[in-house]
Amino acid sequence: MNKKALVMLVGSICLLTACKSSENNTPNTKTEMVTETPVQEVGEPMRKLSFPHSVTSKINQVDNYHGTSVADPYRWLENDTAQVVKEWVAGQNELTFGYLDKIPFRQKIKQRLTKIWNYPKFEAPFKEGNRYYYFKNNGLQNQKVLYVQDGLKGAPAVFLDPNKLSSDGTTAISTVSFSANGEYMAYGTSGGGSDWNEFYVMETASKKKLADSLQWIKFSDAAWFKDGFFYSRYDEPKTGSKMANKNENHKVFYHKVGTAQAEDQLIYEDKNHPNRLFFAQTTEDERFLIISATEGASSINALFYKDLTDEKSAIKPLVDNFEAEYVLVENQGDKLLLRTNKNAPHYQLVLINPEKPQPDNWKVIIPESEDVMDEVSLVNNKLLVTYMRNASSHLLVHDIKGKLLSQVKLPTLGTVTGFRGKKTDKEIFYTFNSFTYPSTIYRYTVATNKSELYRKPQVAVQMEGYETKQIFYTSKDGTKIPMFIVHKKGLTLDGKNPTYLYGYGGFNVSILPSFSISRMLWLENNGVLAIPNIRGGGEFGEDWHKAGMTPNKQNVFDDFIAAAEYLINEKYTSPNRLAIAGGSNGGLLVGAVSNQRPELFKVAIPAVGVMDMLRFHKFTIGWAWVEEYGSSDNPEQFKNLLAISPLHNLKEGVSYPATLVTTADHDDRVVPAHSFKYIATLQEKGAGPNPYLIRVDVNAGHGAGKATSLLINEATDTWSFIYYNMGINPYTGKKV
């Protein structure tokens, strides 16, 4: 896992601080139960609504933020392990699924999704030792399976099947890492979608699982060195608190194969900075240990290094300030290749002498360009570079000195993953996909610069007949924002097309063209898909990211609202046919714009969203998002957060879009309390005929590793809810 992957893990697929007074830094609260039992009968109307909603009891909780009193009557829902909260969740699910069960075409949507989902899905093979490995899902398996084969033409065999690790298919493989000679594989598993991982070790030749068992691991890979590996973990949490308590004091350990975790050697910690995360890497030749330190989900980091050829060498700072991003590519002897945005918002590749790491001593190998340098890999004495240009991938090949040699031609506008390998590899495999181009694997031979098709999926959907365009529209402050629009060819611009507008806008995460079998159901039923690359993402470098960070977060919402207005003004759709969706930081986006412009959207789908912007840093890894959002501990940032927080800006008597909030009971990244408190408030205050519902998955988390059966069920319910509230039967074309 590289630094970019770590930021994605902690920040995206994404947040709660103590309510402190300015005088004594202690909560100013008063708590009183309004009712003896905080769960009332589901379906009891709370006011004159066409749709019955659940009534959620309140407590008298008021917090003082720098002299401003803020009520938090649903604070009790933060205790997600309490019996009363479990009963509340059961009641809400009963209400939601009772509603969904009545949608006449719901089962037909599920049948269609199940059919088109059922095709073999391969990931690109990679070589370890003398054998090739790859992941494959036969079609409807809950989890992808790791296969192994001798040579590219050898007979494949199952190497590790996570579907056998749990009865319900909710245990996933989170990471795999092989020793230098391929003798051992360390792998991580995650149960029920949690960020908590357990690491194990296998002998690759015998497929024997060894006795090694490592626990309390989050945000870590296994970085091999000799007969063991470096990894990062937390101390064991207190009983009953592992899903919600704040994660602090991340530490790097070394584990030797065949020993107990209690014997692991502590390599690095920082007691003065308990909120820092540490991610260990080793260079391919195992000469250097590199430790990346981050103070949150921001891409900004520091780097430390140790010369592993000298047992007595200390861990030294390579870059000890937090002012830019530094990503290890590889070493060249005693020098280190780093991709960085230091003095280069679009990134550059530099060669650094660890003994003289000052920027004045850097050698620039590939300078910054107009395109954003996304990933770099050193393979067979060539530098393979993935760039982003207007939010799509481009592949360039440079020699070791940085001279441009060639460009790898791609099938169409889309996204590349895995254009990387080891120094000794003579060939690599990468994956290309786009909105209507399923993930296809290509084989690239370095010496000849030849890229050829290796494996193409067979999907039961006609991919012809669709078109993808990229337009640029103007946001509120005049900034030009790109947006992808996908639909059937020959679309009539009459303002009547059902349209699905998806966004994220944060944490330097880039939303590039990607294939989704779920979205194909929408497209084949005459839907329009629109994805704007709003500020806060990384599509145009760090400046684009910063334009959507605190105190500029409102830019993100303005960009998304302007996208909706463009689609309406250009007659793609109308407010009655427009659905908006986003997950995690994107859930915050959906909640915020629903509050600010409720008349603009018919349906809102905030998934696992960050809805309480005043308390997000109180739980699990939420503190890591303070740099992105700000903190309510800071008086000025508090004002900004209060102005945009979805939970705190719901108004009494407003008719909001039909809303289906989705979350999961094992989400220990954005804890489900965000969604619980938000829907309780929306049901209390929202008026009008629209339903305000929450769908809580059981044995699922923030999204990673979710079982196929759960994915199909969630997609079924989401599309059913959207179509039904737009008044459309997708299979008859008639009004519902």
| 108 burial via Cβ count (<10 Å: 0-12, 13-18, 19+) | middle
Active-site annotation holder among 584, 645, 675, 720:
584
Residue 573's H or E segment, with its range, is none
Residue 175's SS3 state is strand
Among 709, 524, 521, residue whose Cα is nearest residue 113: 521
**Is 196 in a helix, a strand, or coil?**
coil
Conformational region of residue 699, where left means phi above 0, alpha means psi within -120 to 50, and beta covers everything else: left
Phi-psi region of 418 (alpha: psi -120 to 50; beta: other; left: phi over 0): left
AA identity, residue 536: G
Residue 584 known to be catalytic? yes
Q: How far is CA 579 from the centre of its chain?
A: 21
Query: Are residues 290 and 305 in contact, defined by beta-carbon separation less than 8 angstroms?
Result: yes
Do residues 159 and 148 lie in contact, with contact meaning Cβ atoms separated by under 8 Å? yes
Burial 236-268 (b: 16+ CB within 10 A, else e): ebeeeebbbbbbeebbbbbbebeeeeeebeebb
Q: Which of 174, 394, 702, 720 is catalytic?
A: 702
Task: State the DSSP H helix or E strand holding residue 276, giving kind and residue range, or none if neither.
Answer: none
- Cβ proximity of 490 and 370 under 8 Å: no
Q: Which residues, including other chains, have CB under 8 Å from residue 278's CB and lie 6 or more apart? A: 232, 250, 251, 252, 268, 269, 270, 291, 292, 293
Distance CA 125, CA 428 (A): 8
* DSSP secondary structure string for all residues of 413-477: S-EEE-----TT-SEEEEEEEETTEEEEEEEEETTTTEEEEEE----SS--TTEEEEEEEEE-TT
Determine how many CB atoms are found less than 10 A away from the CB of residue 213: 12
CB 540 within 8 A of CB 508: no
The answer to whether residue 398 is catalytic is: no
How many Cβ atoms from other residues are within 10 Å of residue 398's Cβ? 18
Residue 259 tokens read as 């020993």
Long-range contacts of 178-186 (CB under 8 A, 24+ apart): 178/128, 178/129, 178/204, 178/224, 179/224, 179/227, 179/229, 180/224, 180/284, 180/286, 181/129, 182/128, 182/129, 182/130, 182/131, 183/129, 184/224, 184/257, 185/128, 186/222, 186/224, 186/229, 186/231
- Rounded-to-integer distance, Cα 48 and Cα 582, Å: 30
Residue 517 is inside which H or E element, if any?
A: helix 517-524
**Cα–Cα distances in angstroms (integers) from residue 607 to residues 93, 114, 161, 659, 676, in the given order:** 15, 22, 29, 11, 12
CB atoms within 10 A of CB 463: 14
R_g (Cα) of the chain, nearest Å: 25
Angle separating helix axes 83-100 and 708-726, nearest 10 degrees? 60
Please report the DSSP string for 719-735 in residue order: HHHHHHHHTB-TTT--B
SS3 content of the chain, % helix, strand, coil (to 5): 20, 35, 45
List the catalytic residues.
Answer: 584, 702
